[in-house]
Amino acid sequence: MKGLFCFIAFAVSFSALAQTCLTDAIATTPTQDFVELQNDEVWHQTTDLVWKRCAEGQTWNGTTCAGEAIKYTWQQALTLAHTASKEDLLGWRLPNVKELASVTERLCVRPAINDSVFPQTPPDDFWTSTPSTRDPERAWVVAFFNSSHSIKQKDRFVYVRLVRTYIAEE
């Protein structure tokens, strides 16, 4: 009996972590709006933005995002984006709040993103480059738990996903 209780508790806790989506509505970020580019990048044709498929710290293995995503402070996230852009000269940057919100899948929660395009996305906050206009110590985040937006202290540790503008020659 004790083993059965442990199994049920495990099954319930595991299912609580799985993505949940409404099935009777039209997706806000359907897979066909994205085109796979080289390596770990996808082009969102709707916005003409190219996204890293994985959160920073994870690596694309050709099928999914492997490893653990890493959290950064806002300043560290800005520096990380600058370094990434400097390394390959493609213009990687931290997305603004509207750009990051454009890839949220509002029909899903935990995570609120198209997990076919962006697998293994932590269902948590991601930094944007948009600072708070009222408090210089805070910046906007997009929560991939439920696609909400809020402002957080810049010294908090939050996940990062980089973006760049699409270049037609790609």
pLDDT in tens, 37-54: 988 999 999 999 999 999
Q: What is the pLDDT of residues 62-89, one digit of tens each?
A: 999 999 999 999 999 999 999 998 888 7
pLDDT at 23: 78
- Amino acid 57 reads G
- CATH number for region 20-165: 3.10.100
Least confident of 8-17, 36-45, 116-125, 133-142: 8-17
